[in-house]
């Protein structure tokens, strides 16, 4: 079964700093990849997703992610964060063409200080 690793559990950074969150998965076949964001007290919202094609995916709120197949990675980036980006970020993987469940990472808590 596939697994998902998010290496950073907590990240603290200042406004205007750049953000990069790592996500690695373990599965050799075709996967669907996702990043979700959960703002304090709210539900998970889809930030962006990758199915195929251009490995650089742009999502909402200025986020982007790059799929590197050789590294089994799908890292999330934002060039300049705002205080409102304080949230928990989850990476998720699903094996394509299968009934397999969506596998979520443990999440990364991001705190942006003014």
Partner 1 sequence: DSGVTQTPKHLITATGQRVTLRCSPRSGDLSVYWYQQSLDQGLQFLIQYYNGEERAKGNILERFSAQQFPDLHSELNLSSLELGDSALYFCASSVATGGARTDTQYFGPGTRLTVL
Instruction: Report the interface residues with partner 1, using CB under 8 A.
Output: 30, 32, 34, 36, 42-46, 49, 51-52, 90, 92, 94, 96-104, 106-107
Angle at CA 100, nearest 5°, toward 27 and 98? 85
Task: Tell me how far, at minimum, the Cβ of 61 lies from partner 1, in Å.
Answer: 16
56-76: b (≥16 Cβ within 10 Å) or e? ebebeeebbbbbeeeebbbbb
Task: Tell me how far, at minimum, the Cβ of 96 lies from partner 1, in Å.
Answer: 5
Nearer of residues 43 and 114 to partner 1, judged by Cβ: 43
Task: Tell me how far, at minimum, the Cβ of 24 lies from partner 1, in Å.
Answer: 17
- How far apart (Å, rounded) are the C-alpha atoms in residues 74 and 5? 10
């Amino acid at each position: 079964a596939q697994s998902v690793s998010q290496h950073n559990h907590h990240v603290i950074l200042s406004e205007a700093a750049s953000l990069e969150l790592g996500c690695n998965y373990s599965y050799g076949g075709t996967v669907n990849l996702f990043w979700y964001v959960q703002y304090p007290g709210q539900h998970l919202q889809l930030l962006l997703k990758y199915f195929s094609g251009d490995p650089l995916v742009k999502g909402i709120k200025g986020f982007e992610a790059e799929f590197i197949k050789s590294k089994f990675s799908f890292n999330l980036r934002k060039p300049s964060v705002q205080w409102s980006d304080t949230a928990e970020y989850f990476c998720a993987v699903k094996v394509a063409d299968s009934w397999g469940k969506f596998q979520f990472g443990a999440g990364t808590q991001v705190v942006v200080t003014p």
